[in-house]
Structure 1
């Protein structure tokens, strides 16, 4: 692979692209109010220079819950597992959780956390997943603590996720999970890793046949040249410039290479055939909008099954910033309905 300087390095873009960019779609009123309440966001966006500061802020804003806290007074069984990496890579930490009173082999959500592949952890995403999905739907959850860039660039984080998936399915009986009902999922950068893992699993043929992939506002395309990437520059907490910093950290010298494999950036895939049913959702007012819509189109063109939701007036991470907003509640409900349907788990009324 031969790399090139990416857009974040200079933020110089083709004048014809800039001239054709239209104003950003309006924000949903509730979401706009929540975003405005955060104040000036200029210092909150990621740059190459403030990565250490942003990591510290992320840790402070998303404290890592303990296993006892996740057990929620005995409602969930939670274990931290260390599993061997592949090809002499370090061990991978998995956090395995399930409803404590559940019996029989459970379907499992194999989940990859967000954070631009440069921050975040496997624990902080679990309270919401356990509350929204594991408890109501009777699911087991495996959350992966993959190594982070730039200290560990591609393919290290993806290989961690792959090793954890193989180990989980290989020990399905001991874990009490159903290897025939696995959903691979993630949000933001975790959604991009989930898409990459599903492609890698399809092509290597050494893992399970997942029954679905759950891609929440996934980060798929390192080229950052879609209309929405330009249109939404400077909007919300995460935009084109922040995304470029994350991609550069993850891909290193391969960033922007013409021959970058789809396992590094799933939007590079030319064949989206043979994928499991896919759920994709994204906001109309976020940088990932068009690459997400294009990915759904690619699955449909290949004869696959994709359910796409574009939430009107939503910015990246809207449901975390404004969880009580009507649009956030609607998005959570749609995701839960899809998970229940794909796994054959009826949601309690």
Structure 2
């Protein structure tokens, strides 16, 4: 894909992103280790960040020293289902906790292909269960939890919301989805390979879905809750905020999912960013487009019924 289609404010950052061969297991293992141990933390005044372990899953918590709400966010990091760690989203989580005065729990989860579906979904579900239980010692209201995530984490967040809708007495109050990875059928479309999208292209996308699913991407049938875009009935889901860049691989699947949510009667705000490659709010966090997007996302979250209620 030509660099000229990228927003000029993002070009320098996108050109610095190294190309990594995630098909090789030693490379994936190294990238995971770096993410967990070498990424620098992003401390924010007034927010306590802590790594913890629940009974089943590691989490990273962000707690405002002076909370203004008992609402909370369950956050799920990205990484194409094969890499990634909670620490990579330190800036977004800590700054959101500070701005909204809320508690954020960022979930770690097992990676494919070593741990294919339903391992990652089981892990984030376990974190949800921990958050709504008395075991968590978090001063939050279990009835006021938002579920969110970026990229593969956004897809897992959507799957978790589906699972909770069908099985849980306690429901999330909103979905906060950054460029979510929602549809394996995109990976099956080989015509998309030639576009070689910045940051996350369709070859990588196919690697992620192939590693996660027990069937080939685009198969006639997939396991329930494995692929959010495959769910037939979206009625009754909580309000959703979804963002996606207009030059990234997930544009069509994300806009289609937003439209299907609207048709099902779900309140949706879709934010399409011109000239934005995948996940730019993370790797180009200090650029004007990223700062503006995060501010809009946080503003939407602050207006969500239940989030701004008194602590």
Structure 1-normalised TM-score? 0.79
The verdict on how the C-alpha distance between 1:127 and 1:160 changes in structure 2, with shifts beyond 3 A counting, is same
CA deviation vs aligned residue, 1:198-248 (integer Å, no higher than 9, x gap): 001101134x21110011000011111698982873121211110100111
2:151 is the alignment partner of 1:177: no
Of 89, 100, 109 in structure 2, the residue corresponding to residue 137 of structure 1 is 100
In structure 2, do the counterparts of structure 1 residues 46 and 289 end up closer, same or farther at CA, with 3 Å as the change threshold?
Answer: farther
**CA displacement, residues 70-124 of structure 1 (integer Å, 9 cap, x when unaligned):** 6657x3334444334xxxxxx2122222112337x62101011111111111233
Between structure 1 and structure 2, the one with the greater Rg is: 1
Q: Hey, what's the Cα distance between the residues in 1 that align with 2:249 and 2:29?
A: 21
Cα offset, 1:174, TM superposition: 3.4
**Considering only aligned residues, what root-mean-square deviation do their CA atoms show, in Å?**
2.9
Equivalent-residue separation in structure 1 for 2:151 and 2:64 (angstroms): 26
Aligned to 2:129: 166
CA drift at 1:46 = 4.3
What is the DSSP-based 3-state SS (H/G/I as helix, E as strand, rest coil) of the residue aligned with 1:175? coil
Tell me if 1:252 matches 2:210.
no
Alignment partner, residue 155 of structure 2:
192
Q: From the superposition, tell whether residues 327 and 70 of structure 1 become closer, same or farther in structure 2 (CA, over 3 Å).
A: closer
Q: Could you list the per-position Cα deviations for residues 255-312 of structure 1 after superposition, in whole angstroms to 9, with x for gaps in the alignment? A: 4331214510101111111110000000001000100000100100101111001101
Residue 295 in structure 1 maps to residue 257 in structure 2: yes
Q: How does 1:283-322 map to 2 (within 5 A)?
A: 283-322=245-284
Of 118, 137, 142, 2:82 maps to 118
Aligned to 1:106: 70
* Aligned partner of residue 160 in structure 1, secondary structure: helix
1:265 and 2:244 correspond: no
1: CA distance, partners of 2:167 / 2:216: 22
Q: 1:262 to 1:216 in 2, by over 3 A?
A: farther
Change over 3 Å in CA distance of 1:233–1:71 after alignment to 2: same
Deviates more, 1:26-35 or 1:335-344: 26-35
Show the counterpart of 2:8.
29
What is the aligned residue count? 308
Q: Provide the C-alpha distance between the structure 2 equivalents of 1:266 and 1:226, rounded to a whole number of angstroms.
A: 16
Partner in structure 1 of residue 53 of structure 2: 82
Aligned mates of 2:136, 2:269 — CA distance in 1: 31
Tell me the CA shift for residue 51 of structure 1: 4.3
Q: Describe the superposition over 1:172-209 as per-residue Cα deviations: whole angstroms up to 9, x where unpaired.
A: 88311011211000000000000000001101134x21
- CA separation in 2, counterparts of 1:72 and 1:47? 32
Contact 1:126/1:143 (<8 A) preserved: no
Correspondence for 1:325: 287
Q: Equivalents in 2 of 1:70, 1:174: separation in Å?
A: 24
Instruction: Verify the 8 A CA contact 2:77 2:84 in the aligned structure 1.
Output: yes
3-state SS of 2:142 partner: strand
Q: Distance in 1 between matches of 2:282 and 2:60?
A: 21
TM-score (norm 2): 0.88
8 Å contact from structure 2 (residues 187, 209) kept in 1: no
SS in 2 for 1:328: helix
Residue pair 2:35, 2:85 contacting (<8 A) in 1 also: no
